[in-house]
């Protein structure tokens, strides 16, 4: 939900013959203010009621919430006592009327992924969360143990991906101290509380569905003397023919994924964690991404990428019987500290949008294998209708072309291999030739990268119709342990086990 800023409305100039007398104008103004105040009180009550409701999980992005990833509304602040005619109440009304005036005198009704109806606070009064976009909180620690937030959490509007390398001389003990500090800061920020020495960047905002997710890269274990505790699944990804990877923007000792529905809240977390790393780790690379803002569509829906395609239709859902088996590491893992964790593959994929946009919609749909308007497979139905990969046209050719991206990436074409895709789009300006430097920060989650991402990518690498429009420019693989137990920090079983 976007916050509206109150604006002073300038009086319209009218011919003198049509001007009311000063007494008549004052009476009309008083009556209008009285009616508007009543409307403001009703709207403000509606806003406060909304914050007490739990935000429904949507099928956008990762689907419904699981342990450690579900959104819950943060407790709403109790309103200050007010009396009729008091300065506090009049000020609150002015804040609210400014917002309502900017959106239209009929009032505000806002819908979308957050499922909220209300108005946004503005002005110089005491900050108060009036929408579930700002007040929605994702727990840092999963109840009863579980997975880190940011894996099954619904897609957020703003994201930062950042990798660090430990500075020379940082040993296992120093790395543990860093993870302890990072975990403490993340827990405070995700709860909507300011950490020590806070910058005040997000002082007037709620948690805004903030998540902070931590992972370990392959090189971390050698630097900390923990090579014997490095999982086999963390072996480097193979080379692919379409790769044009920049080593400086790939891999890293430590990885952090930050997501939030407010850009300032996301930056605030990034800045706090980067400051915490001083003396222990230095920045290796950073990437910034975005998704659609909650409330931008009339109803919750799967996100679109910068090619205009609905992206994430065939994602595994937490309600699937084998979801945990596919996405999270099981009890038979070679390293006990990774049980309940997951592996994140991160790829910066630049889209050749100038070339793509020259194609007709019909050609684009053949490349993808799905309709552009609603995401339905070319074999018919709606977005969620299963593809009929055996359907042929009258001329005997398949309705969904043999090299269509959706066909090649489908689990049915990869011995059931599946991964949970949870991407952000990015735009880093324009290149020297005028083409946009834009595309996808592809992030996928799986229990075993070799049997999920690697298997699917190898097949795409051999003949995917979409590949000519993509450039893979950075890559990373990270082991993401389960959520921290109460009183512990993320990765403690690895570092102190």
Sign of CA dihedral 12, 18, 21, 24: negative
| Neighbouring C-beta atoms of residue 453, cutoff 10 Å | 23
CA-to-CA distance for 331 and 335, rounded, in angstroms?
Answer: 9
Task: Using alpha carbons, list the distances in angstroms from residue 126 to 47, 88, 92, 100, 117.
Answer: 16, 10, 9, 18, 21
Task: Using DSSP bridges, classify how beta strands 342-351 and 470-480 pair: parallel, antiparallel or unpaired.
Answer: antiparallel
CA-to-CA distance for 147 and 483, rounded, in angstroms?
Answer: 5
61: exposed, middle or buried (Cβ count in 10 Å: 0-12, 13-18, 19+)? buried
Closest by CA to 161, choosing from 247, 221, 245, 251, is 251
CA-to-CA distance for 485 and 39, rounded, in angstroms?
Answer: 47
Closest by CA to 212, choosing from 252, 263, 270, 142, is 270
354 catalytic? Reply is: no
Question: Which of 311, 324, 448, 464 does the annotation list as catalytic?
Answer: 311
CA-to-CA distance for 91 and 99, rounded, in angstroms?
Answer: 13
Question: What count of Cα atoms within 13 Å lies in the side-chain half-sphere of residue 96?
Answer: 28
Closest by CA to 350, choosing from 478, 467, 237, 477, is 467
377-393: burial string, b at 16+ Cβ within 10 Å, e else: bbbeeebeeebebeeee
**Please, are residues 315 and 62 in contact by the beta-carbon 8 Å criterion?**
yes
**Please, are residues 303 and 155 in contact by the beta-carbon 8 Å criterion?**
yes
Q: Which segments within 46-153 are labelled E, that is strand?
A: 72-73, 136-137
CA-to-CA distance for 328 and 143, rounded, in angstroms?
Answer: 17
Catalytic residues: 311
């Amino acid at each position: 939900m976007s916050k509206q800023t109150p604006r002073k409305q300038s009086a319209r100039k009218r011919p003198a013959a049509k001007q009311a007398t000063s007494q008549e104008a004052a009476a009309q103004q008083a009556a209008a203010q009285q009616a508007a105040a009543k409307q403001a009180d009703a709207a403000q009550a509606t806003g406060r009621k909304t914050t007490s409701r739990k935000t429904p999980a949507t099928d956008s992005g990762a689907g419904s919430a699981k342990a450690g990833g579900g959104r819950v509304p943060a407790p709403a602040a109790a309103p200050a006592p007010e009396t009729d005619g008091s300065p506090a109440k009049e000020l609150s009304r002015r804040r609210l009327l400014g917002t309502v005036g900017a959106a239209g005198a009929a009032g505000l009704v806002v819908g979308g992924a957050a499922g909220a109806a209300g108005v946004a606070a503005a002005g110089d009064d005491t900050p108060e969360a009036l929408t579930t976009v700002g007040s929605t909180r994702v727990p840092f620690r999963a109840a009863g143990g579980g997975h880190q937030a940011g894996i099954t959490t619904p897609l957020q509007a703003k994201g930062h991906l950042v990798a660090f390398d430990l500075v020379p001389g940082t040993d296992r003990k120093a790395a543990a101290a860093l993870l302890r500090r990072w975990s403490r800061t993340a827990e405070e920020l995700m709860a909507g509380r300011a950490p020590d020495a806070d910058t005040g960047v997000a002082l007037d905002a709620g948690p805004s569905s903030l998540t902070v997710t931590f992972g370990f890269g392959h090189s971390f274990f050698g630097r900390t003397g923990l090579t014997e505790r490095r999982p086999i699944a963390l072996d480097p990804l193979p080379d692919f023919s379409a790769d044009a990877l920049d080593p400086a923007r790939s891999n890293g000792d430590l990885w952090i994924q930050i997501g939030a529905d407010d850009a300032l809240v996301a930056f605030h977390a990034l800045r706090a964690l980067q400051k915490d790393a001083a003396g222990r780790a230095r920045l290796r690379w950073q990437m910034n991404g975005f998704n659609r803002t909650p409330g931008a569509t009339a109803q919750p829906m799967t996100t679109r990428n910068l090619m205009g395609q609905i992206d994430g239709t065939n994602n595994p859902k937490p309600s699937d019987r084998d979801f945990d088996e596919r996405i999270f590491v099981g009890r038979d893992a070679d390293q006990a500290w990774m049980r309940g964790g997951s592996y994140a593959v991160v790829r910066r994929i630049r889209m050749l949008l100038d070339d793509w946009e020259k194609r007709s919609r019909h050609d684009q749909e053949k490349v993808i294998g799905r309709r552009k308007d609603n995401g339905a497979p070319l074999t018919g139905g709606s977005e969620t209708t299963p593809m009929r990969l055996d359907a042929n046209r009258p001329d005997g050719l398949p309705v969904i072309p043999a090299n269509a991206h959706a066909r090649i990436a489908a689990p049915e074409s990869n011995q059931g291999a599946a991964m949970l895709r949870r991407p952000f789009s990015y735009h880093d300006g324009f290149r020297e030739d005028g083409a946009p430097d834009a595309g996808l920060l592809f992030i996928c989650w799986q229990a075993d990268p070799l049997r999920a991402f690697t298997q699917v990518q190898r097949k795409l690498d051999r003949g995917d119709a979409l590949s000519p429009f993509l450039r893979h420019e950075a890559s990373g693989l990270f082991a993401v342990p389960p959520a921290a137990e109460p009183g512990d920090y993320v990765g403690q079983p690895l570092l102190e086990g």
